[in-house]
Structure 1
Amino acid sequence: MNRILELIKDYDIITIYRHVSPDADALGSQYGLKQWINDTYPEKKVYALGNDDGSKVSNFPESDIVDDEIVKQSLAIILDTANGSRIDDGRWKTAAYRLKVDHHIFVEKFADEEYIEDMAGATCEILATMFLKEGMTLSKTAAQYLYSGLIADTLRYSIPSTTPQTLSTGAYLLSCGVDVQRSNEENFSTSLQQFHYENFLRSNCQVAGGQLAYIIVHKEDYERFGLSFNEAKEKVFVFGGVYDFKAWALFVEKEIDEQGIKRYNGSLRSRNTTINDIAMKHHGGGHRFACGVKNLDDEEIQTIIQEILDRINEA
C-alpha cells in the first residue's frame, strides 16, 4: 500500500478513473481518493473522470472535464475495475503512468502497477484501510464518500467477505465524522415508484428448480413505473434473503439493436455458489457470488439460467 501513496506523492497531476455504469463503490473510491489528495496536497491538480450519462449514482459530484494533454502528463489511478475495456474514459491508456486498485478477482493486467485485494468487500475498504494503517485523519467529506461505497458494496456488512477488518475500517471512517443516517438513506432508501417496481419484481419472478429466482424485465415494464434502465437494473437485491433461493438473477431490457433483437443486461447473485466464471462467458464478470452480464438476447438468457441451475445442482 505504501507504493500507492508514493506514486501519489510523486505526481503533480493525477487523473482518477472508475468503471462504466458506476456504482457507489466505484464513485465513493474515486471521489474519496480525490478529496483526500486535495486535502493533503492542495497544490496538486486532481481530476475524477467518467461519462455522466445518467448511469451515475446521483449523490456524487459531476465528473471533471480535462483536455488530452493534461491526461498525458498524469498519473492515472483506475479504481474498482477488473478489465481495461470497462474503464469509463479510454484516455487512461495515454497517461504517463497507470496504477490499478481493485477488489475484483483478477481478469487481466492492464496497468503499469496493480494492487488487488480480491477478498476485500469494496475498493473503498482497501483505500480506507490504507489510510487507517497510516494513522491518517480524513476530512468528513472524504470519509463520507468512502463509507458510502463501503456499505453499498458490502450491503451494510452482510456479505461473506465482511471481516473484522471491514468493521474496523467502518468504525475508523465513522470516527472521521461520517453521517451514518445520510449514507444509509442515500444507498438504501427508495421512492414510491421504485417500491412498486420492487413489488412487481417479487410478484412476477420465476423460480427454476425451486432454487433459482429470476425475471426478465422489458422496457415497457419499468417505464410504466417511471424508471430509467439504470434505475431498473439495480434491483436484483429484492430476491435476496429468501432461504430457498440459492441464486437469483435480474435481466433488464436495454435496447433493440439494428437487427431488431432485444438486448438485455443482467445482474447475477448467489448465496455461496461460484457464478463469476459463468458471467465471464457472457460478456461480463465480477465477484464469485455477485456479477453482471450484458448485451444478451433471449436465447443467451435461457442459457445462463440453465448454466446457473446446473452449477447449483452440482454442489
Structure 2
Amino acid sequence: MMNNFEQILLTIERYDTIIIHRHVRPDPDAFGSQYGLKRFIQAKYPHKKVFAVGEMEPSLSFMGTLDDIEDATYENALVIVCDTANAPRIDDTRYSKGETLIKIDHHPPVDQYGDVNYVDTDASSTSEIIYNFIEAIDATQFINRDIASALYLGIVGDTGRFLFNNTTPRTMAIASALLMHDIEHTRLLNQLGEKEPRLMPFQGYVLQHFELEENGFCQVKITQEVLQKFGISSSEASLFVNTIADLKGLKVWVFAVDEGQEIRCRLRSKGIVINDVAADFGGGGHPNASGVSVSNWEIFEDLASQLRAKVQ
C-alpha cells in the first residue's frame, strides 16, 4: 500500500507546473515550508516550473521572494498548500484552480480540503514535515544551503527557538542535520528577531499596559487609537505577541489587536490547552498557540472569560 509521501512524490513527478501556497498572515513556518519545498523541487527537478505565491510579510522578506503569476498558470498545474489547517485561511484563493491539490500540514485536521492530505500533528512544524518528506524519498542529497535555511527558520519559528513543548528529539536531530549545510544560523536568528527601531516605543507600551491576574491569565488589548498613536500597522503590532512571555506566573495570555473590520486575537499558553476555546469562537490552531478573530470588544470579553476559566 502506498504511503502519503510516496503519493506526494508521484504526484509531483506527474506535473510540470507546481504552485505552492500557505496561510494568510504568514509566520516563519509558513514561509519556511513554502520556500523549502519550492527550492527542493527546483533542485531535484530543474525542468519543472515551481512558484511560491501569496502576500509578503515585510518582517520576513529576508527569507525569500514570492512569485506573481497569471491565472492561466493554474491550468493543468499541481497546487500544494503548506501549513494551513482550513481552506478559508489559504492565502490567494486561486489555489482551487489547479488540477490537483495537496495539503501538507501539522495543525489538527479541521478541513481536509486536498485531493491528497498529509497531516502530522506530532511534528513541530510543517518545515519539519518537509524535511521528513525529503528524507523518506531518499533525496537529502538535494538539500542545499537555501533549502536548509528556510526549513531551519520554519522549525525555529514554530518551536519558539526550541523552547516550546513541541520540540522533540526528532526536531533537534533535524535541526542538527540542517546546520551541517553552513546556514549561518546566528545571522538568520538575529534577522528573525530584528525589529525596526520605530516599533520599539510600542513594545514599551505593551510592557506598561499588560493586565496580569493572580491566577496567571493575562490580556493585552491594542485599539485602533493605540496603533495610530505609535504609527504602526496591525501586522507590526502582532510581532510583539510574546513580549510578555517571560512574566513570572504567566499561564495563559491573549494578545488582541483591533484591525478595523475585526479584532485579531492571538492565544498563547504554557502547557494549557487553549485551541478548544479558539475553536468555540471560530478559530483554531495548536494546543498552546492559536488564533481567532472576533467582531467587537464585547465578544472579546467572552473569549477572555473562557480563557480565564482555564486557569481557575
- Smaller-chain TM-score bracket: over 0.9
Query: Deviation at 1:238?
Result: 1.2
In structure 2, the partner of 1:175 is 180
In structure 1, the partner of 2:191 is 186
Gapped regions of structure 1 (runs ≥ 5): 258-262
In structure 2, the partner of 1:92 is 95
| Cα deviation 1:63-91 (Å, max 9, x = unaligned) | 21222232131111000000001101111
Q: Which moved more, 1:217-226 or 1:204-213?
A: 217-226
Q: Which amino acid aligns with 2:193?
A: F
Identity among equivalent positions (%) equals 30
Distance 1:71 1:130 in 2: 24
Going from structure 1 to structure 2, the CA distance change for 1:20 and 1:86 (only over 3 Å counts) comes to same
Q: Match of 1:267, SS?
A: strand
| TM-score normalised to structure 2 length | 0.93
Query: Deviation at 1:135?
Result: 5.1
In structure 2, the partner of 1:41 is 45
Query: Deviation at 1:223?
Result: 3.7
| Cα deviation 1:4-49 (Å, max 9, x = unaligned) | 2222222111010010111111011111111111111110011111
Q: What value does the CA root-mean-square deviation take over the aligned residues?
A: 1.7
Q: Match of 2:246, SS?
A: coil
Gapped regions of structure 2 (runs ≥ 5): none
In structure 2, the partner of 1:72 is 75
Q: Match of 1:59, SS?
A: helix
Q: Which amino acid aligns with 1:270?
A: S
Query: Deviation at 1:176?
Result: 1.9
In structure 1, the partner of 2:269 is 270
| Cα deviation 1:258-285 (Å, max 9, x = unaligned) | xxxxx31111001111111111222321
| Cα deviation 1:138-174 (Å, max 9, x = unaligned) | 1111111111111111111111110010001001111
Please say if 1:231 is aligned against 2:236: yes
Distance 1:283 1:196 in 2: 33
Query: Deviation at 1:56?
Result: 6.7
Q: Match of 1:283, SS?
A: coil
Distance 1:209 1:300 in 2: 23
Asked whether the 8 Å contact 1:21–1:56 carries over to 2, the reply is: no
Distance 1:196 1:210 in 2: 29
- The alignment of Structure 1 onto Structure 2 pairs a total of residues equal to 306
Query: Deviation at 1:308?
Result: 0.6
Please say if 1:63 is aligned against 2:63: no
Q: Which moved more, 1:145-154 or 1:221-230?
A: 221-230
In structure 1, the partner of 2:145 is 140
Asked whether the 8 Å contact 1:15–1:74 carries over to 2, the reply is: yes
Q: Which amino acid aligns with 1:286?
A: G
Please say if 1:108 is aligned against 2:111: yes
Asked whether the 8 Å contact 2:207–2:244 carries over to 1, the reply is: yes
Distance 1:57 1:281 in 2: 31
In structure 2, the partner of 1:22 is 26
